[in-house]
């Protein structure tokens, strides 16, 4: 319910507006409405909750965080009531889960669906954010929280002739709810990231023929998905606290620890045995085999070689195997996919692989895709081409802060934030999993719960202390940006030129390493420390008796050398 509706303008007035009804927006609404007692409204483009899981309904879509960790941990009751069925839940099961949470907490009554936010403008005199939707509805609130997701802005490459294609085209992140029938169809799939690697085996099983257009070959480790045993379900029910403790004390928020050993600590035969065991366990746990895989190229080379040999041993046609194994980046320096029979799919006689780095896509015609090697006739094109990650959804809204400064201008050379949570010049605006936060390098529900709780505590602090306005100090923000760069540069992550972490997948996007690679544990400690010091590095104004220090008094966050095991 709005606090009031301004009769002359029709503006609906709230304490807080939240954009997005995925994992982040749902929990943010619960915290602000039910814990702080604020009037809060979520605005959401989709006609239901779920975010990522509402949009990504492509064949094979499932989580690659393990189910017992891909969940909210703030409510014991929710943890006890919900039971996952598989090691990696499928998209419909995650949608059921998020709907269950939204219903249990009675959230939907305060979510306005089918409502895309087009603009948000900070009105300095009134100290209010004024929001307009695509259809012209007006809202206003003191606090604006963007929970728009890191991976919610589909990236469809601008290939000449795309509009002329006579068949059907789909982006995996905008998949039709009624599904797609591939029976008897010649399907072309562009993209071999986490999505393409999940989708290809399932599409191949249904289609007449699948042609995979691969630009960058990729590693993948078998997920070894399957139903959860009764024993494991009991373990999950009885050990929530221990599982949470592990997730909160590892850099990447997953429910397993990264081994405390370096590759060079073990002899080559033992190393191989460790990799074999990690391969058998499967999933993202492979990455936990050694501590220094993302710190030391020579260490990483051993994992890379092991994984490339696995590809060669699975794929029967040597030429196809070499195209798949011709990987030019360190393992896990791009988001490491996990799969169910991805490489095996290339042994099917209805599947072929096209190397579009060797022979680039030139254009799309009414009947197919043309590369430098000729035309591939197709009935359907699937774009598994990823997202304009992290900045795309935020810059998709026309956001204007203090003194007419737009977010587009503020970020023209790449995003800058303080902690990934706030931007100088944009008072009382909080960005859940914004650029500069660990977010995509972490098991995201862990990061999301931390961000949402930190924002909630910050707003509670403001209200308790008569602070009307809080804004990141520019100098503190610059220090954080420098720290984010240092953290990334201490790892192999920025060495990959064709990584969406750097924005390289979107033509013209500034090349800036966006997520915080210093690990979730360190990040949480920094955020807690800043809050404990009265929100150090923020400018506060109002009638407050605040004891915290205003402005850019923040110290150095951590020397680059101290960044041990990064997220992922
Ligand atoms: P989202 O779920 O993206 O929700 C954002 C919402 O904001 C969307 O519903 C969108 O419609 C809405 N929105 C955006 N802009 C506007 C606007 N202008 N107006 C109104 N509404 C707007 N993470 C993991 O940790 N583990 C995984 O295994 C994993 N698997 C993934 C699989 C896929 C296919 C993808 C794409 C991502 C995956 N992720 C995974 C990352 C995933 O995005 C997060 O785990 C999490 O779901 C993000 O939740 P969110 O609420 O922050 O954002
Ligand atoms: O997208 P991607 P995604 N011509 O950007 C290629 C999360 N996620 O949707 O690498 C030809 O990774 C592109 O090639 P290149 C996870 O965080 C999680 O797969 O840029 N090819 C690449 O191969 C993930 O990282 C899960 O050279 C083009 C592919 O398309 C993130 O979402 C599942 C091209 C895009 O890969 C994004 O994953 C799915 C062009 N013009 C997603 N443009 C799970 O956890 C792009 N490509 C299970």
Put residue 262 in one of left, alpha, beta given phi > 0 → left and psi -120 to 50 → alpha.
beta
Helix axes 520-532, 444-464, angle to 10 degrees: 0
Band of the pLDDT at 6, cuts 50, 70, 90?
confident
The pair of structure tokens assigned to 498 is 């064709």
Q: Is there a contact between 283 and 64 (Cβ–Cβ < 8 Å)?
A: yes
Band of the pLDDT at 555, cuts 50, 70, 90?
low
Measured in Å, residue 175 CA sits from the centre of ligand 1 at 14
Mean pLDDT of 422-432: 98
Band of the pLDDT at 84, cuts 50, 70, 90?
very high
| Ligand 2 binding pocket includes 193 (Cβ within 6 Å) | yes
- Per residue in 41-56, pLDDT (tens digit) is 999 999 999 999 999 9
| Ligand 2 binding pocket includes 55 (Cβ within 6 Å) | no
What is the enclosing helix (H) or strand (E) of 86? none
Pocket test for ligand 1, best of 27, 86, 101, 152 (most atoms within 8 A of CB): 152
Question: What is the C-alpha to C-alpha distance for residues 395 and 229, in angstroms, rounded to an integer?
Answer: 44
Q: Nearest 5°: phi and psi at 427? A: -65, 145
- Per residue in 114-166, pLDDT (tens digit) is 999 999 999 999 999 999 999 999 999 999 999 999 999 999 999 999 999 99
Q: Is there a contact between 336 and 501 (Cβ–Cβ < 8 Å)?
A: no
Question: What is the C-alpha to C-alpha distance for residues 145 and 129, in angstroms, rounded to an integer?
Answer: 10
Q: What is the mean pLDDT of the chain?
A: 95
Q: What is the pLDDT of residue 565?
A: 55
Question: What is the C-alpha to C-alpha distance for residues 266 and 261, in angstroms, rounded to an integer?
Answer: 8
Question: What is the C-alpha to C-alpha distance for residues 418 and 539, in angstroms, rounded to an integer?
Answer: 12
Q: What SS3 state is found at 172?
A: helix
> How big is the chain, counted in residues?
568
DSSP string across 255-317 = SSPPPS--GGGS-HHHHHHHHHHHHHH-GGGGGGG-TTTTT-HHHHHHHHHHHHHHHHHH-SS
The 8-class DSSP code of residue 225 comes to -
Q: What is the pLDDT of residue 554?
A: 57
Q: Is there a contact between 221 and 245 (Cβ–Cβ < 8 Å)?
A: no
Question: What is the C-alpha to C-alpha distance for residues 444 and 325, in angstroms, rounded to an integer?
Answer: 29
Residue with CA closest to ligand 2 atom 3: 386
Question: What is the C-alpha to C-alpha distance for residues 25 and 44, in angstroms, rounded to an integer?
Answer: 9
Q: What is the pLDDT of residue 412?
A: 97
Q: Can you tell me which atom of ligand 2 is nearest the CA of 63? A: 48
Q: How many Cβ atoms sit within 10 Å of the Cβ of residue 319?
A: 10
Measured in Å, residue 437 CA sits from the centre of ligand 2 at 20
Question: What is the C-alpha to C-alpha distance for residues 167 and 50, in angstroms, rounded to an integer?
Answer: 29
Question: What is the C-alpha to C-alpha distance for residues 499 and 390, in angstroms, rounded to an integer?
Answer: 13
Give the position of tokens 């035969």: 269
Burial 20-30 (b: 16+ CB within 10 A, else e): bbbbbbbbbbb
Superfamily of domain 4-49+107-153+389-562 in CATH is FAD/NAD(P)-binding domain (3.50.50.60)
Beta strands in 341-390 (DSSP E): 351-355, 361-365, 368-371, 374-377, 380-383
Q: What is the pLDDT of residue 368?
A: 98
CA proximity to 483, closest of 445, 440, 526? 526
Which pairs count as long-range contacts for 302-311, CB under 8 Å and 24+ apart, including other chains? 302/263, 302/271, 302/275, 303/263, 303/275, 303/331, 303/332, 304/219, 304/330, 304/331, 306/272, 306/275, 306/279, 307/219, 307/220, 307/221, 307/331, 308/219, 310/279, 310/343, 311/343
Band of the pLDDT at 543, cuts 50, 70, 90?
confident
Q: What is this structure's pTM?
A: 0.96
Measured in Å, residue 192 CA sits from the centre of ligand 2 at 6
Pocket test for ligand 2, best of 90, 190, 385 (most atoms within 8 A of CB): 385
Q: Is there a contact between 240 and 362 (Cβ–Cβ < 8 Å)?
A: no
| Ligand 2 binding pocket includes 356 (Cβ within 6 Å) | yes
| Alpha helices, DSSP H, located in 421-468 | 444-464
Q: What is the pLDDT of residue 563?
A: 53
Band of the pLDDT at 5, cuts 50, 70, 90?
confident
- Per residue in 445-492, pLDDT (tens digit) is 999 999 999 999 999 999 999 999 999 999 999 999 999 999 999 999
- Per residue in 269-319, pLDDT (tens digit) is 999 999 999 999 999 999 999 999 999 999 999 999 999 999 999 999 999
Measured in Å, residue 270 CA sits from the centre of ligand 1 at 40
Question: What is the C-alpha to C-alpha distance for residues 490 and 502, in angstroms, rounded to an integer?
Answer: 15
Residue with CA closest to ligand 2 atom 35: 385
The 8-class DSSP code of residue 71 comes to S
List Cα–Cα distances, 356 to 10, 112, 208, 362, 371, in angstroms.
53, 43, 22, 10, 7
- Per residue in 395-425, pLDDT (tens digit) is 999 999 999 999 999 999 999 999 999 999 9
Q: What is the pLDDT of residue 552?
A: 45
Residue 553, pLDDT above cutoff 60:
no
Q: What is the pLDDT of residue 556?
A: 64
Q: How many Cβ atoms sit within 10 Å of the Cβ of residue 108?
A: 17
Band of the pLDDT at 544, cuts 50, 70, 90?
low
Mean pLDDT of 165-173: 98
- CA 436 to centroid of chain Cα atoms: 12
Task: Please give all residues whose beta carbon lies within 6 A of any atom in ligand 1, as ranges.
Answer: 19-25, 43-46, 51-52, 54, 56, 61, 63-65, 70, 116-117, 147-152, 195, 393, 396-397, 432-433, 443-444, 448
- Per residue in 515-540, pLDDT (tens digit) is 999 999 999 999 999 999 999 999 99
Measured in Å, residue 460 CA sits from the centre of ligand 2 at 39
Q: What is the pLDDT of residue 550?
A: 54
- CA 287 to centroid of chain Cα atoms: 18
Measured in Å, residue 269 CA sits from the centre of ligand 1 at 41
Measured in Å, residue 51 CA sits from the centre of ligand 1 at 5
CA torsion angle 383 385 388 389 (round to 10) = 130
The pair of structure tokens assigned to 333 is 């320096």
Q: How many Cβ atoms sit within 10 Å of the Cβ of residue 226?
A: 10
Q: Is there a contact between 42 and 20 (Cβ–Cβ < 8 Å)?
A: yes
Q: Within the chain, which residue ranges are assigned CATH 3.50.50.60?
A: 4-49+107-153+389-562
């Amino acid at each position: 319910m709005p606090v009031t509706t301004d009769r002359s303008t029709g503006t609906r007035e709230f304490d807080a507006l939240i954009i997005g009804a995925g994992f982040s927006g749902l929990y943010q609404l619960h915290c602000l409405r039910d814990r702080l007692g604020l009037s809060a409204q979520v605005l959401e483009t989709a006609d239901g909750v779920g975010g990522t899981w509402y949009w990504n309904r492509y064949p094979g879509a499932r989580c690659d965080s393990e189910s017992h960790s891909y969940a909210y941990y703030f409510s014991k009751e929710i943890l006890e009531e919900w039971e996952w069925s598989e090691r990696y839940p499928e998209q419909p099961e995650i949608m059921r889960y998020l709907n269950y949470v939204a219903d249990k907490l009675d959230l939907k009554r305060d979510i306005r669906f089918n409502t895309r936010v087009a603009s948000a403008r900070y009105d300095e005199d009134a100290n209010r954010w004024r929001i307009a939707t695509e259809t012209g509805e007006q809202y206003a609130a003191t606090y604006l929280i963007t929970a728009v997701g890191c991976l919610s802005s589909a990236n469809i490459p601008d290939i000449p002739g795309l509009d002329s294609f006579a068949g059907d085209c789909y982006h995996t992140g905008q998949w039709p709810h009624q599904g797609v029938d591939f029976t008897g169809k010649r399907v072309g799939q562009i993209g071999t990231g986490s999505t393409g690697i999940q989708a290809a085996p399932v599409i191949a099983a249904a289609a007449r023929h699948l042609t995979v257009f691969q630009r960058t070959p990729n590693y993948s480790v078998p997920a070894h998905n399957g139903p959860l045993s009764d024993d494991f379900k009991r373990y999950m029910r009885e050990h929530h606290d221990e599982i949470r403790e592990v997730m909160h004390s590892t850099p990447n928020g997953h429910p397993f620890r990264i081994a405390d050993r370096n590759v060079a600590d073990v002899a080559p035969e033992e190393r191989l045995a460790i990799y074999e065991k990690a391969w058998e366990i499967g999933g993202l746990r492979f990455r936990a085999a050694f501590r220094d895989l993302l710190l030391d190229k020579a260490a990483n080379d051993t994992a890379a070689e092991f994984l490339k040999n696995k590809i060669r041993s699975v794929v029967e046609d040597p030429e196809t195997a070499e195209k798949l194994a011709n990987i030019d980046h360190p393992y896990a320096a791009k988001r490491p996919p996990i799969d169910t029979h991805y490489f095996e799919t290339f042994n099917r006689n209805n599947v072929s692989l096209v190397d579009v780095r060797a022979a680039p896509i030139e254009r799309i015609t009414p009947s197919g895709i043309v590369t430098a090697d000729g035309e591939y006739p197709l009935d359907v094109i699937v774009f598994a081409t990823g997202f304009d990650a992290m900045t795309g959804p935020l810059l998709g809204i026309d956001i204007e802060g203090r003194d007419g400064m737009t977010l587009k201008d503020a970020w023209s050379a790449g995003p800058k934030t303080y902690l990934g949570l706030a931007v100088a010049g944009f008072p009382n605006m909080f960005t859940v999993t914004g650029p500069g936060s660990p977010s995509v390098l972490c098991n995201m529900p862990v990061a999301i719960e931390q961000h949402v709780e930190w924002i909630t505590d910050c707003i509670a602090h403001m209200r308790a202390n008569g602070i009307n306005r809080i804004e990141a100090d520019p100098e503190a923000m610059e220090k954080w940006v420098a720290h984010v760069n240092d953290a990334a540069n201490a790892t192999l992550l920025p060495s990959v030129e064709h990584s969406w972490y750097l924005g390289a997948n979107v033509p013209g996007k500034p090349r800036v390493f966006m997520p915080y690679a210093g690990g979730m544990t360190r990040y949480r400690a920094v955020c807690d420390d800043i809050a404990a010091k009265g929100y150090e590095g923020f400018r506060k104004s109002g009638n407050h008796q605040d004891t915290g220090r205003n402005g850019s008094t923040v110290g150095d966050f951590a020397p680059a050398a101290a960044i041990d095991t990064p997220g992922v």
